[in-house]
Amino acid sequence: MRLISSLALAGLALLTACQTAPPVVTPPPPPPPPVVRVPQGPPPKPKIALVLGGGAARGFAHVGVIRTLEQEKIPVDLIVGTSVGSLIGAIYASDGSSFDLEWTAFQLQKEDLFDFGVLNAVTGMGFAKGDKLEAWVKGHVKTANIENLRIPFAAVATDLNWGYEVVLDKGSVARAIRASAAIPGVFQPVQHQGKILVDGGVVDNIPIAVAKARGADLVIAVDISANLGNTSITNLVDVTLQATNIMFARNVEHAKRAADILITPAGIGDVGMLDFTQKKRCMQAGIEATQRAMPEIRRAIDAWVKAHTPPAPPAP
């Protein structure tokens, strides 16, 4: 009996010795610390261009557009204008103040710009010479040369001999505006920089492509093309202006699609090209149209900033 017990105890000891040691449980590693990204300074800003189209007296709407953009703190880094758009754009580009622009615009009268004379058309190539327009600009735009304007600026004209678009971004501000606004048949063509130039609206009434070629990231374009209907054509000047209306309106239909934001002041299409009595109405239309466009403008800016902001590197 004692022998059996001894054998049993020995067997039990042998079995116990043969058992494997229990596995060692390794605790999971601690989670990595959160990545702390180091701020890299202010986010990038898009280069915003304001493109101002032609439309003679309806150009007072541009003043309302600029006033609203300034009030909403939308920066304008480049201005490109055709015809009256070049006039309004250059005044603003000179000192960057919408208040001064508005004050100057309210004082402007048709007689300040148009030196009409029957003999001009008989002996020259337009009813108005354009001398008064150039002199007015010299007297009201503080900066003489385009390259010295506070805001980068370009005026668009047309080479009358060859039909090319001519971008004026150097030299005399007043001469460039005179050329850009030389409506064919109304103003005489302008000799400038070795070319004979007329209104830029002949080839490009909303020069969006010019702004993009100059590095604009976002283009805000203003279209003040007229309603084409006109039953009050009574003389040669009316014929010329109506033909110009048609030409300007037709050549913007494709070009304006390239704008990132297109502002079209409502209710001014019936304002005559020489009707300077509708300044306040046109300015108000520009204000209201820009206010309506503000959500779209801000979305476009936010989207550009988001797309061009690189992720910040982690902290060392």
Which residues are annotated as catalytic?
A: 83, 199
In whole angstroms, give the CA distance from residue 157 to residue 164: 9
Tokens of 274: 């020489």
Measure the CA–CA gap between 245 and 250, rounded to whole angstroms. Answer: 8
Residue with tokens 């004050």: 103
CB 204 within 8 A of CB 156: yes
Phi, then psi, of 191 in degrees rounded to 5: -85, 120
DSSP line for 48-72:
EEEEE---GGGGHHHHHHHHHHHHT
Helical residues (DSSP H) of 202-278, grouped into ranges: 208-213, 236-255
Say which residues have a Cβ less than 8 Å from residue 308's Cβ, sequence separation at least 6: 44, 46
Decide the pairing of beta strands 153-159 and 195-199. antiparallel
Q: Distances from the Cα of 94 to the Cαs of 20, 152, 296, in angstroms?
A: 91, 9, 28
Task: Give the angle 162-198-152 at the CA atoms, nearest 5°.
Answer: 105
DSSP state of 273: T
Q: String of b and e for 56-81 (b: at least 16 CB within 10 Å)? A: bbbbbbbbbbbbbbbeeebebbbbbb
Q: What does DSSP assign to residue 89?
A: H
Amino acid identity of residue 145, one-letter, is: N
Question: What is the residue whose two structure tokens read 């050549």?
Answer: 251
d(Cα 183, Cα 234) in Å, to the nearest integer? Answer: 19
